[in-house]
A and B are shown apart, each in its own frame.
Chain A
């Protein structure tokens, strides 16, 4: 059955308002493929039924629709290069300028936690704790559902080996039934928290390093600029924002400038 145009527009409006997600005409198939499981869970027959409940003001339905439409694609040490850049350039540079030997790191749009745990593994293996350094890693996502998985820190063999080198797997994971569980020394280094980036992030404080890779690409131009400006305001004076290497954000308008030699890396531009 085709989706009624008024229902499609309702989903477009709701998703843009609640999560900044842009849905274009012709993407009805995406709604169907992602929302039919939601319809099943709520005991309604189809997308019309979902739209009806949203119009009636069901907060549970609204939350589940937003969560189901969010993209949670991720993997450990995704793309490799950003982690090499962090190890070789970004983290050593940050450490040279911090007398208090403390780093605050934020993984924004962390999905099921692989990026945040990858950071924890990287920092652990760099051995900076033995040099007296402390680090906090905060990981946030809009979806409660993926955060539960992230906190559980258990992954299938498929998920684990999609990024984790075998020696790293042996150091930082343990087999638990058919899954691979992140060991406590890595798991406990990450704190998870639900956050919608559209709601602002000033209350989180400032960070030395923010990773927000392949998140902004799902937003429209105005939302992208607004979120990027927020991320900038959360950076410490010489902090680094790392976006996806292929992203082309409105960096200058958001008060950011490219960080030389670091693909996808940005620092605060002029002014406060």
Chain B
């Protein structure tokens, strides 16, 4: 069965690009535009992995991550942060909030593959 990835980013360009690259490496992708939409989607069906942006309207990635980790089954989902923030303190903050991996934008297929492999979903 195909693994599922929820791509959470307020940029439709990033969502489309990530979706295309991830589908090429065998993922079934769904999309959300902000943290709240992502949580709503997770209540319906928990994906195997989430690619999560930081700065988004309505609910940002850090708040989404912390809330999701408290959901039943929310500890099992692999979460890869994907942000333009690239300071050490920010990466640290995301990991401490419960992210499994961190991607600094911009990214390409190799980086996505590597990170997805590192968290064990590929």
Give chain A's interface residues, CB within 8 Å of chain B. 75, 80, 157-158, 161-163, 165-167, 169-170, 174-175
Contact = CB atoms under 8 A, between A and B. Distances in A.
A173 B33 CA distance: 32
B104 A170 contact: no
Interface of B: 86-88, 91-92, 94-95, 99, 101-104, 106-108, 110-111, 114-115, 117-118
Contacts of A162: 110-111, 114
Give the 10 A-B residue pairs with the shortest CB-CB distance, closest first.
A166-B102, A157-B104, A165-B118, A166-B101, A162-B111, A175-B88, A162-B110, A166-B91, A161-B111, A157-B86
A94 B91 CA distance: 36
Contact of B114 (A163, A167, A175): A163
B114 A170 contact: no
Contacts of B117: 80
Contacts of B108: 158
Of B94, B104, B115, most A-chain CB atoms within 10 Å:
B104
Given A80-B118, A162-B111, A175 B87 contact: yes
A2 B119 CA distance: 49
Given A80-B118, A158-B108, 17 more contacts: A75-B114, A80-B117, A157-B86, A157-B104, A161-B102, A161-B103, A161-B107, A163-B114, A165-B118, A166-B91, A166-B95, A166-B101, A166-B102, A170-B92, A174-B88, A175-B87, A175-B88
A115 B87 CA distance: 24
A69 to B, nearest CB: 23
A37 B64 CA distance: 48
Contact of B111 (A80, A158, A165, A169): A158
Nearest to B119: A165
